[in-house]
Chain A
């Protein structure tokens, strides 16, 4: 019971406290990809802690003891003591139910999301194939429309789409910067990170952590693509392209929210590049790994302890740090 309680507490604290610490942190803008990894590690860690808490409730009641040797019996007793869950079937059952519900929910939302977006992308690609003209020199397709816009369609039929108005409005350098930005999205497979975050939002809409993570990952990936583009193009051309395309020109198309992101990106691009130093990047990476390991360590704690028990024939787990 204690293990389950610790895991649940860990998950709740992580889900409540960390979004406030991490959201809009200044260093995140300096290392957007690292920040994306941290959001992902955070989400997975909370999810794993919740799932393992369910397992921890269930483990002690697994009918391991009945037909095994007596020595093993001692082992099981010890294990039970460690997890200290009243071995009633109802507790174990609800523990397993939690695990099953989590797994099924995530799997269902992931599958549904994948199918839906794959279909939407295919539809869109087919329409583009009929309506847009390939521009091989740009590595993009061009659609005749009076709104200046640029986007990429990821996935199997991946392509970058520009409107004729965007081609007219962008200078040569800005156009190259836009294309580099979009290519960075495609090469980095940013849509997969977005899809993963989306699955969690859809699976657990009541958990603010996942909503915040989804929004932040979307924003940070834009910054990452800006950084990638800025390796070959001036930051000013990217910022200028942003201003041109955010204004759009042409009417008849609904405006989407999200201005602050673009404004933030322009301010960031106009300041000199300021990437996070090596030491702090390493520290962040380590933190991500730790986040992933902590729930496993908590859940496996009693099992690890068991390895040192004299009469337990289960030294499967080597003593740590030797």
Chain B
């Protein structure tokens, strides 16, 4: 995961766990303990993250204070929304393991699976056969 986004990830992680706004200087000093890095690099990265809407900033005194615009969970939700709702020109951008289905279709599918595994008798994978059925139940706790 080196290369693309590694530094951005480090900065965002730091600010998410900090829980309060930080200056570039403060972020730089924390990052410097873990890796060799230039102050201007950190400044550029944070400026880019601000421009791309990951960070908001406020001028306090003579320095900007940066903080995340949204929580990591919100970003995750948005990313999965993009990935799963096919808003990304999916054909050439992402290849899914399987398209999402309506509950109706999903039941047909696990029915087929259940029939096959029962028919096969001692295939030795009772867990396999049961699992899709379990996933069918709407899990209230998760939503």
Contacts and interface: CB of A to CB of B under 8 A. Distances in A.
15 contacts: A117-B92, A120-B88, A143-B76, A152-B95, A165-B142, A240-B113, A240-B131, A240-B132, A243-B135, A247-B132, A251-B138, A254-B81, A256-B86, A262-B99, A270-B113
Interface in A202-255: 214, 218, 221, 236-237, 239-255
Given A157-B4, A221-B95, 7 more contacts: A150-B97, A154-B94, A244-B131, A244-B135, A247-B136, A257-B99, A261-B99
A153 B94 contact: yes
B100 A130 contact: no
Interface string B74-97: 011101111111101101111111
B72 interface: yes
B91 A243 contact: no
Contacts, number: 216
Interface in B125-143: 125, 127-129, 131-132, 135-136, 138-139, 142-143
Interface stretch (A3-11, A56-64, A188-196): A188-196
Contacts of A116: 89
Contacts of B23: none
A134 B13 CA distance: 14
B121 interface: no
Contacts of A29: none
B69 to A, nearest CB: 13
A52 to B, nearest CB: 28
Contacts of A157: 4
Given A143-B76, A148-B135, A243-B132, A190 B105 contact: no
A191 B95 contact: yes
A270 B132 CA distance: 15
B81 to A, nearest CB: 6
Interface string A180-203: 011001000011001101100000
B12 to A, nearest CB: 5
A171 B96 contact: no
Which of A198, A221, A240, A251: most chain B CB closer than 10 A? A240
A240 B101 contact: no
A129 B7 CA distance: 9
A259 interface: yes
